[in-house]
Chain A
Amino acid sequence: MKLSLRVWILIIALLLAILAIAPWSSLKKGVLVEGVESGSPALEAGIKSGMIILGVDGKKIENIQDYSKVISEKSRLNGSQKTIFETSEGEFIVFSNESIGVTVSSLPKSNIKTGLDLSGGSRAIIKAKDRELTSSDVNDLVQILENRFNAFGIADVTISPVSDLDGANFVLVEIAGATPQDLKNLISQQGKFEAKIGNETVFIGGEKDIASVCRNDATCAGIESCSQASDGTHFCNFRFSIYLSEAAAKRHAEITSELTVNATPQGNYLSEKLDLYLDDNLVDSLLISEGLKGRETTQISISGSGQGGDRQEAITNSEDEMHNLQTILITGSLPYQLEVVKLDSLSPSLGREFTRNIVVLGLLVFVIISVLLFVKYRKMKITLAVILTMLSEATLTLGIAALISWNLDAPSIAGIIVGMGTGVNDQIVIIDESVSNKRITLKERIKRALFIIFGAFFTIVAAMLPLFWVGAGMLKGFALTTIISVTVGILITRPAFADIIKKIEE
C-alpha cells in the first residue's frame, strides 16, 4: 500500500514525539544528583546537580535503595571519610567529616514531567506587603530567594516571576518532593538581622558584614544542651560561630572602646550588651566580656533555643531554628516585607494515587470510546483508524509537552483528554461526511467536513486563549495542552486521517 505524504508526516511526527518522551529512560540505572549544598564537600569535589551517580566506592548503584544503603553504611563510621563517586561525567573523590551534601532522586522514567499536584511538592505565590512589585523588584527578589534556598540546602526549587491580567507581579516558588520545614518563614521572612550595642548597629546579616557562618561543623555549630521546664516542655540551646568582615570588626572595636566595665560576681563585663534583633524583635542579648573592649573581634558566637513536647522534638526544632538563622545571616534581608498569598504543600503519596487513577480513567475512556465507535460503524478498519489517530494525538501532545519541559498537572491532563474528545468528534464528522451524501464528490465532502473541523478548532482556541494570562498562570496548563492537542489534530492527524478514510472508502 502506498502511503500519502500526509500519512508519512504523521508517522515521522510520531517517531519524533516518542523520541522526545523517551519512554526507555526507565531502563537506565543510577541515581540523579538533585542538588549539591553550597560549601559542602561534594561541591568542592566538583559534583554538580544533574549528574548521574552510577557507583559509590566501587559498588554499583542501580537505584535509590542501593544508594541510601551504601551511604547509610558509611555514615555509621566515624571520622574523616573518603568516598569515590562514579558518575556519568567521570570519577569524583569526596573527603568529608559529616554530611557529603548531595541530595539524590530516582532517575525520571521518561521525559514527561508531572505537575506538583501529581508528583507532590510545595508551591507558593508571594507578593510585597503594602506595595506593588515592579518587574525589576521581582527579578531582584527571585535572585535573593534563590540564594536563600541555596544556602538552606534546597536545590530542586524553581523560582520564577509571574504576572496576571491586572499587571500585578508575583514570585512563584515551586519545590518538588518533600515540603521543607518552615517553608513559609523561609520565603516570606524578611530576615532583617541586626546586632546592636546600645543604639548603634555593629553588623547586619548578609555578606557585607559577615564573612562566613559556621555550619555542618560540630566544632563551631550545634546543639549545646537540653533541659526540661517545669511545665514539661523541653528546651534545647544551639550555638554557632560567625566570622565578621574587617569593617564590621572595626566597628565593633570603635563602639566597645567607649563602654565602661562593670564588675559582676560572674566576672567583668562591658556596660552594654550585644543585642541581636531579627525583624525588629530582640532574639538574644549577649554579655561582652571585659577582654573584648576596643578589640577588633572577628569571631562572634550566636545562640538561641528551640522547644518541643519531647526531647527529640526540641532538638529538631532548635536545629531548624539554627538553620533558619544561619540562612538569614548568610543571605541578608529582603528589601521589604512579603506576603504569602498562596501556599500549597501537596502530598506525594496522594499525588501517586491520583496519577494511578488518571491512568486507569484514561484507559477506561479509551475502551468505552472504541466500543462505541465499533458499535456505531461496525467496521474494524474505521474503528481502528479512529483509535490510532486518538492515540497519535495524545502521543504528539505528550511529546510536545516533554519537548518544552511542561509540567503536566491535573488540569493539563484533563486538557489532553478533552483534546482527544474533540479529535474523535472531528473524525466522526469526516466519516459521516464521507460515507453519506454520495451525490457530491468525495473531495467536496471532505472539504465540507474540514470546514466544520476548522470552525470547531478556531472556536476552542479562541475560548481557551484568555486562560494564558489569568491568575499568575495557574491554569495555563489546561489551556496549553488543549490548544496543543487540537492544533496537532488539525495540522497532522486530521489530514492524515482524511487520507486514510479516502483509502478505506475507495
Chain B
Amino acid sequence: MTRVRIPARALLKMETQETKKNFSRWYDENYKKILILPLILLVISLAYLVYFYKDNGDFIHKDVSLSGGTSITVQNVTQEQVDSVLRQEFPDVSFTKISDLASGREIALIIETAASPEEIVPAIENILGFALTDENSTVEFTGSSLSNSFYKQLIIALIISFVLMSIVIFVLFKSFVPSIAVIFAAFADIVIPLAFLDILGVKISAAGIAAFLMLIGYSVDTDILLTSRALKSSEDSLNERIYRAFKTGIFMTLTALVAVLPAFFLVTGLPHSFRQIFLILSVGLFVDILNTWLTNASIIKWYANKKGIK
C-alpha cells in the first residue's frame, strides 16, 4: 500500500495561506467596523475622565510629589505595625510595600501623607519605638507651592511634547489624513491608559507624567512603520503590506513590553519613580497595540482605498 505523505510543514503552509486569504477577505469587508471598537474604548475613557474630573477636581490621582506632602520609606517595617495607629492621627495616610526581588521578603514600606515630616516622623517613631535615621529610612518632602507649579509645568510640557510630536509627524508624511491618524492614535494612547490608571486608583508621580511624555514619542514608531509601509506601493497588495507591518510592529511592541513589564510585575524592590515609569509605559504600549493595528490601520486602509493606492 502506498501512502501519499504530505510533509507537515507544507500542510501548515497551505493552511496558513488559506487562513490568510480568508482573513484578507474578512478584513476588506470589516475594517471600517473594526474602528468602532477602539473608538468605543476611547469614548468610555474620555467620559470616565470627565466624570473623574467632576469628582476630584483633576484628571489624575496625584501622589505627594505633585500634591505636596511627605513620603517616607522605612526599612524592615510592615504595614500592620503602623497602619491603624497612624490612620487615627493622619486619616489621609497611604501605604505601598516594597519587596525584595529574589526572596519576596518585604524590605520596606512607603508611607505617604499630606502632612509635613515634622508632624509624621515623630508619630512613626513613637509607634516603632526607634528613631528614623538616614540609614533606615528615606524621607521625601515636597512643599505644596513647589508641587503645584511642578504639576502645572508638567502638564504644559505634556502639551508641548504632543504638539512637537505632531509637527514631526506632519513633516514626515506631508499629507493630512495619515498624519492625523497617527496623532489621533497617540492621543488615544494617552487618554485610555490615563483612565485605566484612574480606575485602578494609581497615584501618579512627577516621574509618571514624564513617562506619559515618553509614551508620546515611544508609541508612534509602530504608527510610522505602518503608515510608511502601507502607503509606499509595491507589488504586494495593501493587505499584505499592512500584515507585514503588523508582523514587524507587534514584535517591536512585544520586545518593548518584555523590556518594561518585568520591572513592574517581577520586581517591586525598585525606586518608586522607576516602577511608575515602567507601569505607565507597559499600559501605554499595550493600549498602543489596539490603537495602531485597529484604529490607525483601518484609517490608513480607508485612505489608501480612497486614494487608489494599491
Contacts and interface: CB of A to CB of B under 8 A. Distances in A.
A470 B153 contact: yes
Interface residues of B, number: 78
How many A residues touch the partner, as a band? Answer: 35 or more
Interface string B200-219: 00000011001001101110
Contact of A357 (B145, B235, B258, B270): B270
17 contacts: A340-B143, A341-B143, A345-B140, A354-B269, A354-B271, A365-B263, A368-B262, A369-B259, A411-B207, A411-B274, A414-B273, A420-B259, A421-B259, A455-B169, A462-B165, A463-B165, A466-B164
Contact of B214 (A117, A118, A482): A482
A460 to B, nearest CB: 3
Interface string A353-385: 110011011001100110011001000000000
Interface of B: 73, 75, 100-102, 107-108, 117, 134-143, 145-146, 149-150, 152-154, 156-158, 160-162, 164-165, 167-169, 172, 206-207, 210, 213-214, 216-218, 220-221, 224-225, 228-229, 232, 234-236, 244, 247-248, 251-252, 254-256, 258-260, 262-263, 266-267, 269-271, 273-274, 277-278, 281
Interface of A: 117-118, 120, 122, 125, 164-166, 168, 178-179, 339-350, 353-354, 357-358, 360-361, 364-365, 368-369, 372-373, 376, 409-411, 413-414, 417-418, 420-422, 424-425, 428-429, 432, 436-437, 439-440, 448, 451-452, 455-456, 458-467, 469-472, 474-475, 478-479, 482
A353 B98 CA distance: 11
B135 A348 contact: yes
Closest 6 CB pairs between A and B? A463-B217, A460-B217, A456-B221, A462-B164, A466-B157, A341-B146
Nearest to B268: A357
Given A339-B145, A428-B255, 11 more contacts: A164-B153, A341-B145, A347-B138, A349-B135, A428-B252, A459-B221, A463-B217, A464-B214, A467-B161, A470-B157, A475-B206
Please classify the interface of chain A as helix (H, G, I), strand (E, B), loop, or mixed, using the class held by over half of its residues.
helix
Contacts of A462: 161, 164-165, 167-168, 217
Contacts of B107: 353
A428 to B, nearest CB: 5
B207 A461 contact: no
B228 A455 contact: yes
The listed residue with most A CB atoms (<10 A of its CB), out of B137, B252, B271, is B271
A347 B134 contact: yes
B255 A360 contact: no
A360 B267 contact: yes
A464 B217 contact: yes
Contacts of B274: 354, 358, 410-411, 413-414
Contacts of A467: 157, 161, 210, 213
A461 B75 contact: no
A446 to B, nearest CB: 14
